[in-house]
Amino acid sequence: MLTIRRLCAGDVPAAVAIVRASPDFFTDDVPGHVERDCARHGGWVLADSGAVADSGAVAGFAVVARKSAAGAEILWMAVDRPRRGRGHGTALLNHALDVLAADGVSVVQVKTLDESSDYAPYRATRAFWGRKGFVHVDTIDPLPGWQPGNPAGIYVAALRPTR
């Protein structure tokens, strides 16, 4: 059974393993960023209580940075490949957004590969963010810190009215 709990230091290798197992989604600099951002910002994991530790015990993760009193950014999020498309990402995201909203966050941002890239794997990712209420508000190319050839689509979701 999958449950959602706060990400702890011991989860970082499993989160990085999920990233490394998806080279079609994540460039080779991402594992290092995920390690640093997990330590700096924290987040949540989908924990599989039925799995043996180090082997599928973390089914997904989200790393979230608080950018201001009312603003946050989902820096990284992924579900273990065999478990995608079954609602686990939705459950993880909803949990994170509920906690953020309760803590005063009004607007959440996520950056993903922009549709102008025409790179097939990220069509599903953009569909996911769109279905979850995230709105494309900008495209930044090149985005500082991202590898060349990866235009960034900037998406935002409101957790409550801001005016």
Ligand X SMILES: CC(C)(COP(=O)(O)OP(=O)(O)OC[C@H]1O[C@@H](n2cnc3c(N)ncnc32)[C@H](O)[C@@H]1OP(=O)(O)O)[C@@H](O)C(=O)NCCC(=O)NCCS
* List of residues contacting ligand X (CB under 6 A): 22, 25, 77-79, 84-90, 110, 112, 124-125, 127-128, 131
CB 151 within 8 A of CB 117: yes
What are φ and ψ of residue 152, in 5° steps? -95, 125
In the block, tokens 């994991």 appear at 45
Closest CB to ligand X among 69 and 87? 87
CB of 77 to ligand X, least distance (A): 5
CB of 58 to ligand X, least distance (A): 12
CB of 132 to ligand X, least distance (A): 7
CA torsion sign, 106 to 41 to 111 to 17? negative
CB of 162 to ligand X, least distance (A): 23
Q: What is the dihedral of CA 66, 36, 16, 106, to 10 degrees?
A: 10
Q: What is the spatial distance between Cα 152 and Cα 48, in angstroms, rounded to a whole number?
A: 32
CB 109 within 8 A of CB 155: yes
Q: What is the spatial distance between Cα 109 and Cα 93, in angstroms, rounded to a whole number?
A: 12
CB of 89 to ligand X, least distance (A): 2
